[in-house]
Structure 1
Amino acid sequence: MDQPTIIQSLNSTDVEGAYLVFERSITQAFNQEGLGSLQDDMKDEIEHKKSLLQSTLHSDEYSESTDTGSFFLLAKRGNSVVGTISYAPCGEEIRILSENRLNDIGELGSLYILPEVQGQGIGSMLIRALATELQKRGIQQFCLDSGYRTAQKKWKRKFGEPYTAAHNYWGEGTDHMVWLCNVKDFAAN
């Protein structure tokens, strides 16, 4: 029988597992998008996610009094990390695309699921857990963005039409979209 999926906060013992999720799922996303030849961009994206995870881990461990509000949640089956999600101040792409209108809204990011367990509801579990934590913290909205067409189709079904979109942002036929969401719509009640 399959092990149940549990959602928990990031801790130092799960870093390597989270790295593996980034490496496998980002590589898959680039390949699905027909961008597999952009090896340097793929490596940069993976390294950026690893760096974000490390900075979040260290801010949690060393500076509780200067909480940035950033955190990671992990989906685990047994001892294996199978998915990640983060919350942090909105990133540069969102600031640019929203013309700075969303600068004070935190961003749902780093939602990655191992390819072999995608489509099993793990992403939805992570989003619900993140929204529930945000609700506990009194946060009412979050934003997210994507330049991946495959993800954009999923986000349109889950989050509705984007708040804003930059057409042909990454080249002909490749848009970058930003969503603004109400926490209460996704938190567990």
Structure 2
Amino acid sequence: MNFRPLDREDVKPLQRLFMESLSDLIRREQFEDADLLDEEVERLNTTVQDSFEDETVQIFVVLQGDVIVGAAAMLPPNDIIAAHVDIEPNVPEIGCMYVSPTSQRQGVGHFLIENIKLQLSANGQTAFYLDAGFPTSQDYWEKRLGPPVLTLDHYWGTGAPHKIWRCTTTEKET
């Protein structure tokens, strides 16, 4: 696997990864919100554009051969995190993390987060925030990072929490 910053020629393949991953996630989660996929893809595409115009937004991709199989962004904490956590200076969010459905459970996510942590350390950053609203994403992160620092019960409706983590770059995944 190869980890590197996003290049302009990666935009179309990355958009396909987002669409494929989100479609799979929404199907598995059995969400019935018809607009959710379009809203999430639009948000991700905005982040991609921001990465070319704003130095505080960086996107990294993981390739197997010449195929993008994963991606994640380092960016300022999103509105949900900022509204519920006292944001520390120089502590970014790790967000927009997606792995191709055909590459899941093959170490791509682990490889991606470990390389992001190395990048943060190289930038002199010692911690990061991460949040999740999808139940399967929350389960994954709880297994990898331990319990969240904050659970916003019923954030997305009855029985649908949103979870926020604050991690250091030196913490080992569980």
Scaled by the length of structure 1, the TM-score of the pair is: 0.86
How far apart are residue 146 of structure 1 and its match? 0.4
**Equivalent residue for 1:77?**
64
1:23 paired to 2:8: no
**Equivalent residue for 2:94?**
108
1:127 paired to 2:125: no
Q: What is the root-mean-square deviation of aligned Cα atoms in Å?
A: 1.4
Give, in whole Å, the separation in 2 of the partners of 1:40 and 1:143: 27
**Equivalent residue for 1:40?**
35
Give, in whole Å, the separation in 1 of the partners of 2:47 and 2:146: 27
1:166 paired to 2:152: yes
**Equivalent residue for 2:135?**
149
**Equivalent residue for 1:58?**
53
State the Cα deviation string for residues 88-139 of structure 1 (Å, max 9, x = none): 00000111232xx025321000110111111101011110111001001110
How far apart are residue 55 of structure 1 and its match? 1.3
SS in 1 for 2:147: coil
Scaled by the length of structure 2, the TM-score of the pair is: 0.94
**Equivalent residue for 1:14?**
10
Among the aligned pairs, what percent are the same residue?
A: 26
**What amino acid maps onto 2:68 in structure 1?**
V
**Equivalent residue for 2:103?**
117
Give, in whole Å, the separation in 1 of the partners of 2:84 and 2:22: 22
State the aligned residue count.
172
**What amino acid maps onto 1:154 in structure 2?**
Y
State the Cα deviation string for residues 151-182 of structure 1 (Å, max 9, x = none): 11111111111010111111111110000000
**Equivalent residue for 1:49?**
44
Question: Rg larger in 1 or in 2?
Answer: 1
Give, in whole Å, the separation in 2 of the partners of 1:155 and 1:128: 13
Give, in whole Å, the separation in 1 of the partners of 2:27 and 2:7: 30
How far apart are residue 148 of structure 1 and its match? 0.7
**What amino acid maps onto 1:88 in structure 2?**
L
Q: 1:103 to 1:93 in 2, by over 3 A?
A: farther
